[in-house]
Structure 1
């Protein structure tokens, strides 16, 4: 029995196939703590998202803004026919209800200056902004002739101006709309139907709207985060946006003009021009105002890839780092005939896993580059000194240190790249495979 155990032990110790199976099994075992690290990165990232959303909700969330809209109430009458049981006849009554007509401007021009700044809570940071806007334009002559509404049922004396927005909390001033010869103060309406809407008092001289085109203007200061977008309700809508934010994402249904778009490390400038023919809705609505958010355009103030995203991308290469490092030690073992115990493989693998926990924890208090450099240096020093103890001499520990340093440097480059990450990664992996094939060409694989 002891002889059989001895033969099995010698086979494990001397067989290349056995050692390869053991290293492969240990690699699979090390995936367990690596998965725990990935869960840790996701948990910390979710926590950051929660804190950022809380900061944004108190400062002001994303902003979606329309220009001014003329709202004119009108009466409608509906005949209701009921059966009288006593008289055995039908009676007809008329029920009056109030509906509204909405008229959009012919010209709408929005000039916005957006100043972004960071807000911190503990170790987390959010980017918010304050936008100062000058809105000008012109309403056409208000015309009901295309509708079947009786002119005497139009309630001109209760006409008003409304402005739709997604963020009442962020408004920092009381907008005063200059409409023709009068100034209207905008206030919010407590009504589910007009949620996120500010409305003026009744227009004192509504006859101006009927007799001629009327110009309007107002200033608005609003706090927000994430994005600033506009609804192109003008027959011709133009918008200009200037900001100190260096990483904008122009999105929505319309993109800015290429000639006007300028982006630098100091900020950006962009201009839009949207015509009525470019979007699929008319300039007036009767009865109700539809949801036009799908036609919005503007800018998202995106945060470039943060530390958690970079750490998550780094952990995705964890299997490759651990696998290649264990493979390197296996090749050294086969070439040098130095025995490396499975426990020593486990210690090396756990040291490689510790790199990611160091990276996450340090990057929460410093830049990703500094965290990456400190974590990589610590793990390199630890594994190199450990290799010196188990491999003897200096040749193989220096090889391990150089190989691991090159691997960490290669992964850092891939993490920083966006458009060329796949290309560089593929070339790098091909190069690594070629090196492994070249290094293992003289190993006698017949020993079993």
Structure 2
């Protein structure tokens, strides 16, 4: 049976509709695999440690003031004890952090999770401790204070492998917890208040997953970080003033003053430490879920509009190529990919009708199905191979099969080879679109413009009225 022109067009339209549903199902499969990857990240974080954020060293002490007041009248008059509990806190004048992070990849099945082991050498200086001296609010009251606590708050204390502390050169025992109600997780050391300057040196080994943050809670902060990871992503509220990324790793240096950051003041006001947990963990000290941490116009999590999140300096240990993200982007181009291929086949029919066989709608369907399966093949191979290798393997396989099929469909090996070469060009253009995120729009637009221009030039001499009459002639003769 010969298809009329309009019947063939409707059949191809129906095929495109079915292929759209096939591509949608492949897109759902990509989303499912990406969800499995997030589950793997959560599993590693639950078994090891999550994204890490460090606050401190920081000084605080708890004080209680009591006094007697007379209440009642006459015989009912009596003394009643009033009580005020408050906390004194003081940030260091300077904080210097020198650190080195070694990456430790973990695996859950096929899925890789970037962990790290960082050594942090922290040096904090206080010119005096006057802010920790309590003042009476009532004359003659009884005022008592606990020992001064030097604390370092950590987002996930399971990652603390070692901690050594020296105060003014003297070693001091470190205990778990911070003794601070707002930032309970971390470590602390107690000492008696003394006059004069104070210097604290803390060396800590900290294990975590995906991200490391430091709160610039001091008048002057400097964080020097080196790592063997080649693909850092710098975030937080401040970018490093110096950075160098090489094939051997990266080096970054942050410098922040209290003029630029309100972190020290916000800690005194019990602001939240909101680590950007890639797997959706809870924010430290506030119980806020990071899933609610979409930034508002000020760059703060929306769930923390009423409570200030602390400023942080941050680096994420990311993979430059996420196969699921790239596969998802590739599937979004799938319908355009199929449409361009169908246009190429139809154009071949139009320009070489005397030398090329008529292409049946079933053949269009098989070509479209092969094109759609390319994306599933890409997803499956990228879970076992590097994305570049998986892409080349999938594209060569599909282009080879379609070139062989095209040699029979189009009536000759030359036409089939040209068909395969054209598909290879489309696969190359798609790879450029996937890997050039910043320039994908301009590259894609120029590519489509070039294709449309080529079609217009190739068909500029076609008499479309005569062509439609010739294609409809077999149906007229049959009637």
What TM-score do you get using the length of structure 2 for normalisation? Answer: 0.82
Tell me the CA shift for residue 80 of structure 1: 8.0
One of 104, 117, 126 as aligned partner of 2:113: 126
**1:196 pairs with 2:185:** yes
Which residue of 1 is the match for residue 415 of structure 2? 396
Give 2:345's aligned residue.
329
How far does residue 89 in structure 1 lie from its aligned partner after superposition? 4.8
C-alpha contact (below 8 Å) 1:157/1:206 kept by paired residues: no
Tell me the equivalent position of 1:234. 218
- 1:290/1:82 Cα in 2 relative to 1: closer, same or farther (>3 Å)? farther
Q: 1:81 to 1:26 in 2, by over 3 A?
A: farther
Cα deviation for residue 168 of structure 1 reads 0.4
Cα distance change of structure 1 residues 23 and 441 upon mapping to structure 2, 3 Å threshold: farther
TM-fit CA distance, 1:119:
1.6
Q: Compute the displacement of 1:236 (Å).
A: 1.3
Instruction: Give the deviation of 1:108 after TM superposition.
Output: 1.0
How many Å apart are 1:158 and its aligned residue?
2.1
Q: Report if aligned partners of 2:234, 2:316 keep a CA contact under 8 Å in 1.
A: yes
Q: Are positions 1:49 and 2:34 aligned together?
A: no
SS in 2 for 1:371: helix
- Unpaired runs of 5+ in structure 1? 1-8
- Answer with 291-300 or 401-410: which moved more: 291-300
Q: What secondary structure is seen at the aligned counterpart in 1 of 2:15?
A: helix
SS of the residue aligned with 1:277? coil
Task: Kindly indicate whether the alpha-carbon contact (under 8 Å) linking 2:177 and 2:186 is maintained by their aligned counterparts in 1.
Answer: yes
What SS class does the counterpart of residue 169 from structure 1 fall into?
Answer: helix
After superposition, the Cα gap between the structure-2 partners of 1:189 and 1:117, relative to the gap in structure 1 and judged at 3 Å, is: closer
Q: Secondary structure at the match of 2:161?
A: coil
Offset, 1:38: 0.8
The structural deviation recorded for 1:387 is 1.9
Partner of 1:270: 252
Q: Runs of 5+ in structure 2 lacking a partner?
A: 274-308, 470-479
Alignment of 1:301 with 2:317, yes or no, is: yes
Q: Distance in 1 between matches of 2:321 and 2:343?
A: 32
Q: Distance in 2 between matches of 1:152 and 1:185?
A: 34
RMSD between superposed Cα atoms in Å: 2.7
User: When the two structures are superposed, what TM-score results if normalisation uses the length of structure 1?
Assistant: 0.87
Determine helix, strand or coil for the equivalent of 1:413.
helix
Greater RCO (CA < 8 Å, at least 6 residues apart):
1
Change (3 A) 1:408 1:81: farther
**Contact 1:101 / 1:285 at 8 angstroms: preserved in 2?**
no
Match of 1:101 among 88, 111, 119: 88
- d(CA) in 2 for partners of 1:61, 1:318: 36
Tell me the alpha carbon deviations over residues 145-165 of structure 1, each in whole angstroms, 9 at most, x when there is no partner: 997436985545522211111
Q: Aligned in 2, Cα 1:416/1:283: closer, same or farther, shift over 3 Å? A: closer
